[in-house]
């Protein structure tokens, strides 16, 4: 994937705005009072554990399901409006292609639904699908099918792209190549909303993170702001201190060849070590990573 040619994006006023969104299935709230706005040139990562309501929320944003409460507007109008749909691109979590059609035929077919699509040759080149152009979809690997699914989201020169777990099944090199394309799209003025279980992916791509849990927004902000919401600091030592020097609120992390824990106040923790003659060899103090913050923010409180 090139990541250097850029994208032609002309985003009109409006974008995506969600206010008080709610959806209930079998008397169980799945999405509850979600409010979200997407701005031009912004990549937003929608994170949450399995069953948090991410995919349901996406279906409501796209007009595929009707919300019980709240309002969704896409470019100032309803999301199911045909003209609005032509201005977006979507990669759903599950995609099936006719097995006898070739990759080129699939891209051609998708392009035919848009008034001014990108050329098939450009899409095949951008997403490294040229060598697969004449291959039938039934013979594609899982990773190749996923690359094709993501490529289709960009075929119509969209202004907003929705990506639901876009890199599932991709190897590291293919995943990073796709990241470059998504980032290039946002840097060119496009807007991205992506769900992912790869926290490294959210850290690499997202300008803003929205963490959902039990259908509600648990945290929202930049990656650094979300990390700070965890309320902990990582401390690393060469060897473990005596258990009596740890507070009940300190979270000891699994680590090999060193001691790691998350503490509320690193200054108090280190002072306690020094006052009690504990070794501070290899001492490192750093903010928590996105993974630790995510775990703490989505920890069940029931």
- Strands ordered across the beta sheet of 284-287: 251-253, 259-263, 233-237, 284-287
Residue 12, pLDDT above cutoff 60: no
Angstrom distance (rounded) from CA 250 to CA 85: 49
Angstrom distance (rounded) from CA 25 to CA 35: 19
Q: Which residues pair with 212 in a beta bridge?
A: 217
**Residue 226 confidence class, pLDDT cut points 50, 70, 90:** confident
Percent of the chain with pLDDT over 90: 54
User: Mean of the pLDDT values across residues 116-123?
Assistant: 96
Residue 217, pLDDT above cutoff 70: yes
Residue 11, pLDDT above cutoff 70: no
User: Mean of the pLDDT values across residues 97-114?
Assistant: 97
pLDDT digit string, tens, across residues 140-149: 999 999 999 9
pLDDT digit string, tens, across residues 255-287: 888 999 989 899 999 999 999 999 999 999 988
pLDDT at 156: 96
Residue 151, pLDDT above cutoff 80: yes
pLDDT at 45: 94
Angstrom distance (rounded) from CA 26 to CA 28: 5
**How many Å from the N-terminal Cα to the C-terminal Cα in the chain?**
45
Give the class (CATH, top level) of 16-227. alpha beta
pLDDT digit string, tens, across residues 167-197: 998 999 999 999 999 999 999 999 999 999 8
- The answer to whether the beta carbons of residues 43 and 192 sit under 8 Å apart is yes
Residue boundaries of the structural domains of the chain: 16-227, 230-297
pLDDT at 277: 93
Positive/negative CA dihedral, 137, 140, 142, 143: negative
Average pLDDT, the chain: 88
Instruction: Report how far Cα 15 is from the mean position of its chain's Cα atoms.
Output: 18
pLDDT digit string, tens, across residues 32-62: 999 988 888 899 999 998 888 888 989 999 9
pLDDT at 40: 87
Percent of the chain with pLDDT over 70: 94
Residue 207, pLDDT above cutoff 90: yes
E strands, the chain, in order: 16-25, 28-38, 43-47, 69-74, 88-91, 160-164, 191-195, 208-213, 216-221, 233-237, 251-253, 259-263, 284-287
- Buried/exposed code over 127-156 (b: 16+ C-beta within 10 A; e: otherwise): bbbeebbeebbeebeeebbbbbbbbbbbbb
Residue 2, pLDDT above cutoff 60: no
The pTM of the whole model exceeds 0.85: no
User: How many other C-beta atoms lie within 10 A of the C-beta of residue 27?
Assistant: 5
Residue 161, pLDDT above cutoff 90: yes
Angstrom distance (rounded) from CA 60 to CA 67: 6
Provide the token pair at 85. 């749909």
Provide the token pair at 261. 């824990």
Angstrom distance (rounded) from CA 253 to CA 262: 7
In this structure, whether the domain defined by 230-297 belongs to CATH 3.30.70 is answered with yes
pLDDT at 300: 57
């Amino acid at each position: 994937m090139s990541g250097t040619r850029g994208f032609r994006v002309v985003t009109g006023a409006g974008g995506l705005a969600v206010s008080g969104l709610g959806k209930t299935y079998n008397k169980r709230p799945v999405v509850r009072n979600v409010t979200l706005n997407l701005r031009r040139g912004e990549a937003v990562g929608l994170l949450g554990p399995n069953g948090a309501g991410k995919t349901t929320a996406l279906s409501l944003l796209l007009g595929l399901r009707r919300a019980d409460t709240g309002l969704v507007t896409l470019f100032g109008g309803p999301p199911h409006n045909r003209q609005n749909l032509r201005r977006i691109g979507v990669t759903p979590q599950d995609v099936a292609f006719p097995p006898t059609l070739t990759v080129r035929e699939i891209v051609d077919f998708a392009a035919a639904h848009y008034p001014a699509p990108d050329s098939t040759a450009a899409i095949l080149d951008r997403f490294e699908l040229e060598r697969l152009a004449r291959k039938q979809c039934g013979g594609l690997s899982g990773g190749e099918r996923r690359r094709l699914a993501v490529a289709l989201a960009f075929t119509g020169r969209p202004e907003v792209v929705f990506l639901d777990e876009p890199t599932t099944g991709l190897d590291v090199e293919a995943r990073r190549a796709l990241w470059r394309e998504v980032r290039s799209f946002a840097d060119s003025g496009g807007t991205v909303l992506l769900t992912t279980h790869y926290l490294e992916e959210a850290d690499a791509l997202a300008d803003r993170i929205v963490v959902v849990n039990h259908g509600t927004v648990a945290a929202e902000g930049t990656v650094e702001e979300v990390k700070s919401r965890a309320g902990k600091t990582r401390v690393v030592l060469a060897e473990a201190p005596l258990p009596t020097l740890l507070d009940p609120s300190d979270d000891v992390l699994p680590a090999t060849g060193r001691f790691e824990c998350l503490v509320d106040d690193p200054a108090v923790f280190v002072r306690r070590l020094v006052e009690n003659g504990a070794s501070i060899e290899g001492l490192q103090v750093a903010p928590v990573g996105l993974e630790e913050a995510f775990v703490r923010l989505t920890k069940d409180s029931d």
